[in-house]
């Protein structure tokens, strides 16, 4: 079975500071990995995905994520956070032919 853990429920960062959101997965092989963002009252928007190849993945809105097999992690990063990045972020994992499993989400607050 596959699972995904987002250990941080809430994170607060100052505008302009760097950001790292943690995601750990459990799956017997290399899964497909995703990060989504959800603004209040909206659906989920795909930020980036990892299927194979380069372990550093670039996404939209200046986000990137790094796949680390040894740590079973897929952490999301952004060098400089903007107030508009305040939202909830979901990591998701898909192992082989299984359906997608989502993490519980991390709420990001950005303070001026």
Partner 1 sequence: KAGVTQTPRYLIKTRGQQVTLSCSPISGHRSVSWYQQTPGQGLQFLFEYFSETQRNKGNFPGRFSGRQFSNSRSEMNVSTLELGDSALYLCASSLGFSIQGEYEQYFGPGTRLTVT
User: Which residues lie near partner 1 (CB under 8 A)?
Assistant: 32, 34, 36, 41-46, 49, 51, 90, 94, 96-105
Residue of 19, 23, 15 whose CA lies nearest to 105:
23
Least distance (Å) between residue 21 CB and partner 1: 15
Bridge-based pairing state of the strands 19-21 and 73-78 = antiparallel
Least distance (Å) between residue 105 CB and partner 1: 6
- Report the residue number, 3 or 80, with the smaller CB distance to partner 1: 3
3-state secondary structure of 59: coil
Least distance (Å) between residue 50 CB and partner 1: 10
Least distance (Å) between residue 17 CB and partner 1: 26
- Report the residue number, 78 or 94, with the smaller CB distance to partner 1: 94
CA dist 27 to 46, 66, 98, 101, Å? 21, 17, 11, 11
Tokens of 89: 């972020």
- Report the residue number, 18 or 84, with the smaller CB distance to partner 1: 84
Distance CA 24, CA 112 (A): 29
- Report the residue number, 17 or 104, with the smaller CB distance to partner 1: 104
């Amino acid at each position: 079975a596959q699972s995904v853990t987002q250990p941080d429920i809430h994170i607060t960062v100052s505008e302009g500071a760097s950001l790292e959101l943690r995601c750990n997965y459990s799956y017997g092989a290399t899964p497909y990995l995703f990060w989504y963002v959800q603004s209040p009252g909206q659906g989920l928007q795909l930020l980036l995905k990892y299927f194979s190849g380069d372990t550093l993945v670039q996404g939209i809105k200046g986000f990137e994520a790094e796949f680390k097999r040894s740590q079973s992690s897929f952490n999301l990063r952004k060098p400089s956070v903007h107030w508009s990045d305040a939202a909830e972020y979901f990591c998701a994992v898909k192992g082989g032919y299984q359906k997608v499993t989502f993490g519980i989400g991390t709420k990001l607050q950005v303070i001026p």
